[in-house]
Structure 1
Amino acid sequence: MKPSLAKGTRDFTSLEVSRRKYIINILQKNFELFGFQPLETPSFENLSTLTGKYGEEGDRLIFKILNSSINEAKEEKKTQMLNDFQKALDKPFSAESLTDKALRYDLTVPFARFVAMNHGKLTFPYKRYQIQPVWRADRPQKGRFREFYQCDADVVGSESLWQEVDLVQLYLKSFAKLKVSVTIHINNRKILSGLAEYAGITDKLIDFTVALDKLDKIGKDGVVKELLERNISQESIDKLDFLFNQSNDALENLLQLKEKFAGNEIGLKGVEELEFVITQSLNLGVNIQNLVFDITLARGLDYYTGAIFEVKADEAQMGSIGGGGRYDNLTEVFGVKNIPGIGISFGLDRIYLVMEELNLFPEEAASNVEYLFANFGGEETSEALKLIIQLREKGISAELYPESAKINKQFTYAEKKGIKNLVFLGEEEVKNNTVTFKNLEAGEQKTVSLEEFLNL
């Protein structure tokens, strides 16, 4: 049988792992710089924890886990259960005998579950960051995988809009350190609710936001077509036509909304909140070009209640490489009220692809061995290992070629692995307490004293 990967998954080479760690280390350092503490949750959750939190489309992308009880059942019972399973394939999974657990879809809902279970022990506002894989039964394509990492930072227990302002700073500082030029698109879920009220489609809010969220993928005509398919009238769509003709001036667009939202309480509240976040961010030195009010930004997750963010790379076509928002009611579904929250996520896999495309990874992002010691056999090999141990004690990577092979073979090995220096510790060097090494990048060869070598 020819080996293959499961669709939507990947292997990572040593270079890819090192580069991913480079991104993660920068994000982790910035998370902690902003006061966030680490948390990890299980790879799978109870199915009931996840369903109903991501909207209709999100629920369909949850990876359900077949109950292990099917494998443990007696033969006749197993046959019946498998028959039930086959019947369930064409309808939503609801039979607990088939599946009651699922791989986590994101890190936010498991975090909300954790807060609900532990709120009596936590100090609020509680700030956590989490860097772990998630799974979605999506159609794989460039930048979209079925298994991928999310890097999240969330604050719960505070309604202060200064949290939004601080998260804008976290985004910009992190991407500046990665040298990725980005634009943060921002909107407010209350504005979307206000637009639905303005157009007389309050009962169609979810249909409206799900369609609007696809604007950058299917264009205005595609959104209008989908709105009509979702039984939203042409009259209502006409009232919303101004959405597709926004100016580049965020404050001017907000002023236009204020006029349309006269007497629209929730819409005006959204405008007020967004004005605060944008104004204070600009006061802190954020370039208006880096923070864009995007009135069509919807983000298709049902749990957002206030600000919503989406980050896009300026110099690469990759869709969003980060996103998030405020979710003041999320813990209520777990029986715990009055714990407002807001969080953002960095898309590790897409950030990697952007940095690779733009050649932004520095040399230190690769974990290459510093020294390879040629193997001459006999006493020299033992002396080489003693020196290797001393290098490792100093935190310098070094290894011995395992066999006493022809020197050309050892050269080839070093070059293919990207090892920087090939060390020769032969009979003459051992006798004179010297070390000869060749820098394979520069092609220069030197002989120095043992003490000098250890202090390079």
Structure 2
Amino acid sequence: MNLEPPAGLRDFTPEIKILRKKIFNRIEKIFIRYGFDPIETSTVEYWDILKGKYGEEAENKLIWRFRLPYSDKEYSLRYDHTIPLARFYSRFQFPLPFKRYVIDKSYRYDNPQKGRYREFYQADFDIIGSREYTSDAEIINLVIEVFKEFKFNNYKIIINNREFLRYIFEKLLSINQDKIFKVYNIIDKLDKIGIENVEKELNSILDTDTSNKIINIIQLKDQELIDYLSKFNDLNELINYNNNIFDLLVDKKNVELSLSLVRGLDYYTGMIFEARVDEPKIGSLAGGGRYDNLIGKFSNRDIPAVGGSIGIERLIDAGIELKIFKMKKKTYTDLVVVYFNNTLKDAWSICNKLRSIGINCYIDIMSRDFNKQIKYAVDKDIRYLLIVGEKEIKNGFVLLQDRETKERINIKIEELDNIKNIIYK
């Protein structure tokens, strides 16, 4: 019998789960600080809700679709949190702007590898109802805040705009519609396959002159790119919009403007972004953009939206490899109440008191002897022991031992509240 979960799915030990929850909580605090509120949507969606929203590759290869033998309806596991949000908002119609976040699972039938799983958490954050550059800037600022929170220094946030892409490639270079999405997909692989391989793939579907122009354009960054785009009067308003976003960023040093970013999902309409780290090579850690036409497909109303997603699994994998995250904590338990056979009931009473005042404590439930109770505390790396001995009980106190400092303190039973101040100081 194979005790491992299916490929691309994982089990988490307490050490890993405690670390993950800590990271989730720190990200959530950033969302709340920026005025975002939580929602939750169903893990399972009707296939009709997702169909036609993501593009050919996602819908034919990556989305989990199924039909139950006793139902005539076709269902899907959610691929991301954006389409479910569009459905959710169209159902409830909250006052605008609506700022929401969610930290929950998504599912993709992907090729499992480091940072890429079939069941994974995403931390999504979206603003519905605003077309202003201020909302785009706030989305980027959230990503910057997350990287700063976890002290990632080697990251880069790449920003582009789908309207820049349409103008340069579809209007200026006149790439026809039967090739344009292939061109976008090739360009989007630049970070994975390098400029030489991008050029080879472009040459396979375009003439050499057009291919060379694309190679030159996608290597332009920041001010060089702005200077190039400024040659076209039709783009002046869009350039100003982009400059206004940059003006509102909390930190610009790790942000780059580049036409090499495409992002594959079909629903993006304007500003798009991705965040990556130099090392390890693990793909994007965050991404998103503006999707002004998506909610209208569900609500028959013209409602703009912009959002982003933190790829928590990649963030954690990269953080562990870079030694930013350490799995030190094996348990939430802070104290073990240790007893002898003749002090069991007194120890249980004391343990109940400690729990009532907010101390995370453990007491043996397997009738083990004193030494085995101590060994459990050592194996779980629980720092504090509260020893309840017969002599101590008769004299009205218990013994608190700090395994880290080796310090021992006699605590009067009527003063158990003081223990909280000692272990949580």
Would you say 1:153 and 2:121 are equivalent positions? no
Match of 2:189 among 195, 211, 214: 214
Q: Distance in 2 between matches of 1:274 and 1:438?
A: 60
**Is there any run of 5+ residues in structure 2 with no aligned partner, and where?**
none
Paired residue secondary structure (1:374): strand
Distance 1:194 1:9, change over 3 A: same
Q: Distance in 2 between matches of 1:361 and 1:142?
A: 16
Question: In structure 1, what is the Cα distance between the partners aligned to 2:66 and 2:54?
Answer: 21
Q: C-alpha distance in 2, partners of 1:36/1:290?
A: 24
TM-score, scaled relative to structure 2: 0.91
In the TM superposition, what whole-angstrom CA distance separates every residue of 1:213-249 from its partner, at most 9, and x where no partner exists?
11111112322333344x33333212212134335xx
Deviations 1:17-36 (A, max 9, x none): 11111111112122121111
1:275 aligns with: 243
1:385 paired residue number: 348
**d(CA) in 1 for partners of 2:19, 2:62:** 29
> Is 1:190–1:269's contact at 8 Å kept on the other side of the alignment?
no
Cα distance in 2, alignment partners of residues 139 and 365 from structure 1: 31
Instruction: Name the counterpart of 1:184.
Output: 157
Cα offset for 1:404?
Answer: 4.0
**Alignment correspondent of 2:210:** 236
Residue equivalent to 2:140:
168
Q: Is the 8 A contact 1:22 1:365 kept in 2?
A: no
Verify: 1:227 aligned to 2:202, yes or no. yes
Q: What's the RMSD between the two structures over aligned residues? A: 2.2
Residues 106-129 of structure 1: CA deviation (Å, up to 9, x unaligned) = 00011111222333xx10111111
Number of the residue aligned with 1:59 = 59
Distance 1:412 1:365 in 2: 17
Q: Is the 8 A contact 1:243 1:295 kept in 2?
A: yes
Q: Aligned partners of 1:136 and 1:318: how far apart in 2? A: 17
Whole-Å Cα distance in 1 between the matches of residues 329 and 103 of structure 2?
19
Aligned equivalents of 2:298, 2:332: Cα separation in 1: 48
Preserved CA contact (<8 Å) 2:186 2:201: yes
Q: Which residue of 2 aligns with 1:23?
A: 23
Residue in 2 aligned with 1:198?
Answer: 172
User: Counterparts of 1:397-436 in structure 2 under 5 Å?
Assistant: 397-436=360-399
State whether residues 156 and 277 of structure 2, in contact with CA within 8 Å, keep that contact through their aligned partners in structure 1.
Answer: yes
**Superposed displacement of residue 43, structure 1:** 0.7
Instruction: Compute the displacement of 1:202 (Å).
Output: 4.6
**Normalising to structure 1: TM-score of the pair?**
0.85
Instruction: Sort the Cα spacing of 1:185 and 1:245 in 2 relative to 1 into closer, same or farther, 3 A.
Output: closer
Greater shift in the superposed pair: 267-276 or 203-212: 267-276
Structure 2 counterpart of 1:279, which letter? D
For 1:428 and 1:163, the matched residues in 2 are separated by: 66
Contact 2:218 2:258 in 1 (8 A): no
SS of the residue corresponding to residue 142 of structure 1 reads coil
* Deviations 1:266-292 (CA, angstroms, capped at 9, x unpaired): x555433222211332xxx52x32211
1:251 is paired with a residue whose SS is: helix
Instruction: Give the percent of matched residue pairs that are identical in Structure 1 and Structure 2.
Output: 34
8 A contact 2:354–2:416 mirrored in 1? no
Answer yes or no: is the 8 Å Cα contact 1:251–1:275 preserved in 2: no
With 398-407 and 415-424 compared, the bigger mean Cα shift is at 398-407
Does the 8 A contact of 2:331 with 2:380 survive in 1? no
Q: 2:281 aligns with which of 301, 317, 330?
A: 317
Report which stretch shifted further, 318-327 or 307-316.
Answer: 307-316
- For structure 1, which runs of at least 5 residues remain unmatched after alignment? 73-96
Structure 1 partner of 2:76: 102
**Equivalent residue letter for 1:189:** R
Residues 125-161 of structure 1, C-alpha deviation per residue, up to 9 Å, x if partnerless? 1111111100001101110000001111101111011
CA drift at 1:440: 2.0
Indicate the residue corresponding to 2:85 in structure 1: 111
Match of 1:302 in 2: 266
> Out of 314, 330, 337, which is 2:294 matched to?
330
CA contact (8 A) 1:322 1:346 kept: yes
Q: Which one is further off, 161-170 or 53-62? A: 53-62
Q: Give the letter aligned to residue 166 of structure 2.
A: S
